[in-house]
Structure 1
């Protein structure tokens, strides 16, 4: 059983996944941010690997990627930073997922990337520009060889047949994009919940996590009526952009989303 699967099976409340860009706000802030998130009850940390052309990301995350690249963040640097992250008591049981794009990974070497990710304690990958066909015929076997989960994305426009196909190929969880747009935009949660209710009726094999436009307690509660968890990205990046103390700012932010923690 993977760590991600174990997280969903053990939780009696919706799982919280928080995204941030590795190397942001400073090159050496990756581990402090991870520790702050885990310390304050975040079950899954989604580490964004900065890239110059992030297709799915809105302005806030794009800006953080640009800054992280300027700070000197690379895949090799990221792995050197997180290689011993599981030795941190707060991070021993936290899910860690890498989110990024194929171009820099292919330049790094796909199998080398997967091997080093697994060695560093990473649980899964989200690569929005890896098509299902390529996953099945070229890359999926390598990902599975190193025991990594792979998470596909579905949108409100994805047909039931396609949702079921991507659910079957995914492991860990299925990423339901709240709207066919980039991250950080405004979201009509009445429409989103109709879509999520439909996904719930499919009785998929993977837990469903919802992302894009999730930013506070109200939006988390709205999307977890029919799903197993929520993903927050841009709202947390904005917190980091002005934080003078990462742990304190993270505690306040998560405390507003989960007041009872």
Structure 2
């Protein structure tokens, strides 16, 4: 059982919803992002999504695109991202970490090498936005063989015919994208999300976590109330972009996690 699977089993036993937080590795610099990362569990974060900076992040809105650019300009690489995970693991061996990004940096490093390094560093799962299920042999199946969960995205445009294909090799949890378009583009609405979560649960036993368009404790509570939990990324990255002190960023994260956990 991976850390991700253990965490969701624990939350289920406690009758709690999950709160997942996204930050970009190396934004605005390695030390600052590591300080935020280390503070996330105490701020109520159940699963950390760590963004892997990439030059052409097609699913990301301006806030996360700029975070990736800042990280890359600061010298952040895949190897340094894994070093950041190792540093986090020195003090926390239980909080699940999902690496979220695009396939190009992994392909460039070599799949076998990357998976061995990611597992050793303490990564628990992958969300690779630009690898569809038709390409499962490329990374998904090798990742699962290496003991990493491969988490797939489902969207409002994933119809009933497509959904079983998307779910076939997914593990850990399902990430439901609540809106069409890029991150941070619109607000998620619980009334729209609820039926979609039910549709996914009809074909999968995995927890369904909803992301995109959640910016406030109130929206975190509303969305977590119709799913197994929620993800917040753009709103947190926006706080970092504004130059807020680490303590203030973590206080904001705590308000969001309190919202999700009260659902």
Does TM, normalized by the shorter one, top 0.5?
A: yes
Structure 1 residues 90-122: Cα deviation after superposition (integer angstroms, max 9, x where no partner): x32111000010112111111111111100111
Which residue of structure 2 lines up, in the alignment, with residue 29 of structure 1? 32
Residue 208 of structure 2: aligned partner: 208
> Are the aligned partners of 2:101 and 2:128 in contact in 1 as well (CA < 8 Å)?
yes
> What does residue 218 of structure 1 align with?
218
Q: Distance in 1 between matches of 2:258 and 2:124?
A: 24
What residue in structure 1 maps to residue 156 of structure 2? 156
Deviation at 1:256, TM superposition (A): 4.9
The aligned residue for residue 146 of structure 1 is 146
Within the alignment, does 1:61 sit opposite 2:64 as a pair? Answer: yes
Partner of residue 187, structure 1: 187
The verdict on how the C-alpha distance between 1:253 and 1:17 changes in structure 2, with shifts beyond 3 A counting, is closer
CA distance in 2 between partners of 1:22 and 1:138 (Å): 24
CA deviation string 1:52-96 (max 9, x = no partner): 1101100100010111100110001112222242221xx321110
Distance between the aligned counterparts of 2:141 and 2:196, measured in 1? 31
Deviation of 1:204 after TM superposition, in Å, equals 1.7
Partner of 1:82: 85
Deviation of the 1:35 alpha carbon: 0.8
Length, aligned pairs only: 257
Residue 117 (structure 1) aligns with = 118
Equivalent residues of 1:196, 1:223 under 8 A apart: no
SS of equivalent residue, structure 2 residue 186 = coil
Distance 1:82 1:257 in 2: 22
After TM superposition, the structure 1 stretch with the greater mean CA deviation from structure 2, 188-197 or 44-53, is 188-197
Whether the 8 Å CA contact 2:47–2:95 is kept in 1: the answer is yes
- Is 1:48 the counterpart of 2:14 in the alignment? no
Once the 2 structures are TM-superposed, how far is the Cα of residue 25 of structure 1 from its aligned partner? 1.5
Instruction: From the superposition, tell whether residues 78 and 27 of structure 1 become closer, same or farther in structure 2 (CA, over 3 Å).
Output: same
- CA contact 1:97–1:125 (8 Å) conserved in 2: yes
Secondary structure of 1:83's aligned partner: helix
Deviation at 1:257, TM superposition (A): 4.5
User: Which TM-score applies when normalising by structure 2?
Assistant: 0.91
116-125 vs 153-162, which moves further: 153-162
The answer for unaligned runs of 5 or more in structure 2 is none
Name 2:102's counterpart in structure 1: 101
Maintained 8 Å contact 2:172/2:206: yes
Q: Measure how far apart 1:32 and its partner are.
A: 1.0
> Kindly tell me: are residues 235 and 55 of structure 1, through their superposed partners in 2, closer, same or farther at Cα, counting changes over 3 Å?
same
TM-score, normalised with respect to structure 1 = 0.92
Shift of 1:164: 2.5
